[in-house]
Structure 1
């Protein structure tokens, strides 16, 4: 079988990379985000890798005088959401040539950068026009050093590879396609692509197949009739197709982000249990209890806000999926309008159904699970705030009680002490009228002032304590 597949050839093959990168987000407004130029930087790296000065200097042909690339929504004077970015003639592909190595064949290709809504897209196509190439040599001409693979381009929204070729010398179509995949990709990725049956359809009278792994989205379109060649060369399908792929990758990206947000929110929800246990096991002393409650009150609002933010992000991702699904359906209709009667693209319909029945429903279920947790965060914070107010009030009452006791005792003792302050200066022992030594009356008065301090403070403390106890029991009865 290996010897036979080596004899298989393809005519006029080309491999197209269509990659997508966010230009701006809801948070950034109309300004490009920090990673928006990722695609153009990768084009520069690809130009170095392929030895192509046109690709290497592509970014210079995209930048406006202010150094920015593309358009904010307020700057776009066109009625179209599909805006070519090349200068001076934005409606043409920029041809490029390269030579990856001294012994490598010359590489031919074209690049077409475009902006779709808030997203950059780039089409990089490597081709061998009017050439017949062995299947085993496809990687050499169309994907040298696997430069168009996702692990090199690594765009944030994702990418699609479209392989177009006219089969020659192939007796079995399935075996031929398998050989092409093995000729274009590393063995591990090729086997992953071949692991599951592809989606099948027909476009412009020729078969088209869809392969999908977690990292690669591949379309293989075979040129089996002159009509296909003619309609493909006219390019009427191109704008609907690239817009459709943009919507598709945005839907998948939003779903991945939503699942990530769900996992982060779930971890925060699990952190509630220790806080609940802390509240249930508060110490008896008011001061310790108050310190712990205040510590909880400094931690929980931050967790609550983070939890709330993940829920809001999930709602945004849900809206993104719903919006792009509607746009995707419009793109499918546009493709169907230019297709010929016998065409059929069921795998496009299958993706729509999957987006509705899996992506949207899953996010809605996740939100139903998380939203009660948001209410629990709020209730716990409000409960702690209430406890802090109660304990702080008790602490203030205790302090006020102590101050009243000390104030009454010190006041009474001070009156006595001031009355005898003159006697204290005479010394510890003094002589009486009989010239006998005796205890200084001031010292004796000081003793009595201390006794008065203790007695009066105790009486005040007892009275206040009884009043407080009566007031608390009165509140309970109410």
Structure 2
């Protein structure tokens, strides 16, 4: 097993938070020869956790001790579904004659990180190795002397704290886009069969089923709202990636200036982040096209529903008006008959009174009451029909003038 002088194990963890006020907390712990500190920094929308641990023996030690340090560090952390990501940092003094690659390989094996480091950057007297991908990520910093490590360790931890935060925010935001894209792509484009059925419809909208059309309209409006919101979410994540990638680039440049060396390995993340930006931009462009197709389909269905509804309303209005006209004609006819009948009944009553009083009229000249009643009924019916016909003609010509 490889050895390292005065090995330290640190964990950087980043969690989303709702508070906006900055906060700083510090807690030290001690267990046998292992000493450590838990730092908690609240910055903006992110909670930064830095947990450091070391065996207080400033001598060469087996890297097997990292297993114990890892166990203690993990005991100080909790599970959180809002964690953006975490990175490990192993640093110490490289013993004389020790192969740096053996230290990197052993450290990655203990921490469960894939060892992808084949070369090292130089920064402030230390060889810097970057290992792993995304959240399974680690850095090994090997100093040439103990005094040099003590002089720079505190400042270096602060630099790593912010640099790694920007890195994890880029990966976190890009990961969000990968989760939501399949959901967007699933039903974004309408089925070709549904598009053809709408575009090939005859103008005879009245034959369409209004109920089915209304249901289709509701479904399309729901999908349209969901995809518009998701597309806005993608655009927000794109801006998050861009902002934190620029912050990463700026912080790395500042660190390079302090150490008078450029980071060849760590700067490769800038290329990965730029690739992520281009991918999200392509996704947004593709999904925007699908959204426009969905919008046009929704507008078409809405137009068909409105046409069919207007046609049905027109038919109902015509039927209602026809019924009202019939009632009006019937009412006039019945009223006319009633008035005429009342008048005729009064006349018949007067005639019967006269005949009962005046007896000088010869019997053959008299008209029987039944005949007079029949004549009255015929006259009432004729007058009622005449008034009904006149009202019907008046309504017909009156509507004709309104329609013109």
Task: State whether TM-score is above 0.5.
Answer: yes
Native 8 Å contact 1:13 1:164 kept in 2: yes
Native 8 Å contact 1:275 1:296 kept in 2: no
Q: Distance in 2 between matches of 1:158 and 1:199?
A: 24
Q: Return the offset for 1:16.
A: 0.5
The DSSP-based 3-state class of the residue aligned with 2:135 is coil
Deviations 1:394-447 (A, max 9, x none): 112212332343334444445555566799xxxxxxxxx799xxx9x98xx99x
Native 8 Å contact 1:94 1:112 kept in 2: yes
1:97 aligns with 2:17: no
Native 8 Å contact 1:287 1:395 kept in 2: no
Q: Return the offset for 1:350.
A: 0.7
Distance 1:420 1:307, change over 3 A: same
The DSSP-based 3-state class of the residue aligned with 1:236 is helix
Deviations 1:78-116 (A, max 9, x none): xxxxx6613xxxxxx532124xxxxxx564211111133
Q: How many residues align?
A: 376
Q: Return the offset for 1:218.
A: 0.7
Q: Which residue of 2 aligns with 1:331?
A: 251
Q: Distance in 2 between matches of 1:377 and 1:199?
A: 51
Counterparts of 1:433-444 in structure 2, within 5 Å, are none
Q: Distance in 2 between matches of 1:180 and 1:203?
A: 20
Unaligned runs of 5+ in 1: 25-31, 33-69, 72-82, 87-92, 99-104, 424-432, 472-478
Q: Distance in 2 between matches of 1:299 and 1:379?
A: 14
Counterparts of 1:257-406 in structure 2, within 5 Å, are 257-270=176-189, 276=195, 279=198, 286=206, 289-339=209-259, 341=260, 343-356=261-274, 358-406=275-323
Distance 1:332 1:227, change over 3 A: farther
Q: Distance in 2 between matches of 1:264 and 1:232?
A: 48
Q: Distance in 1 between matches of 2:270 and 2:76?
A: 27
Q: Which residue of 2 aligns with 1:181?
A: 108
Quick check: which one's helix share is greater? Answer: 2
Q: Which residue of 1 aligns with 2:3?
A: 9
Distance 1:313 1:296, change over 3 A: same
Q: Which residue of 2 aligns with 1:18?
A: 12
Native 8 Å contact 1:15 1:126 kept in 2: yes
Q: Of the two, which has the highest radius of gyration? A: 2
Q: Distance in 2 between matches of 1:181 and 1:238?
A: 19
1:256 aligns with 2:175: yes
1:85 aligns with 2:85: no
Q: Distance in 2 between matches of 1:244 and 1:172?
A: 27
Q: Return the offset for 1:144.
A: 4.1
Q: Which residue of 1 aligns with 2:360?
A: none
Q: Distance in 2 between matches of 1:266 and 1:286?
A: 34
Q: Distance in 2 between matches of 1:15 and 1:376?
A: 54
Native 8 Å contact 1:162 1:221 kept in 2: yes
Distance 1:296 1:267, change over 3 A: same
> Which stretch of structure 1 is more off in the superposition, 155-164 or 361-370?
155-164
1:156 aligns with 2:69: no
Counterparts of 1:215-226 in structure 2, within 5 Å, are 215-226=135-146
Q: Distance in 2 between matches of 1:270 and 1:378?
A: 10
> Which stretch of structure 1 is more off in the superposition, 359-368 or 406-415?
406-415
> Which stretch of structure 1 is more off in the superposition, 117-126 or 294-303?
294-303
Q: Which residue of 2 aligns with 1:60?
A: none
> Which stretch of structure 1 is more off in the superposition, 346-355 or 201-210?
201-210
The DSSP-based 3-state class of the residue aligned with 1:359 is helix
Unaligned runs of 5+ in 2: 342-367
Q: Distance in 2 between matches of 1:145 and 1:124?
A: 7
Distance 1:12 1:226, change over 3 A: closer
Q: Which residue of 1 aligns with 2:126?
A: 206
TM-score, normalising length: structure 1? 0.65
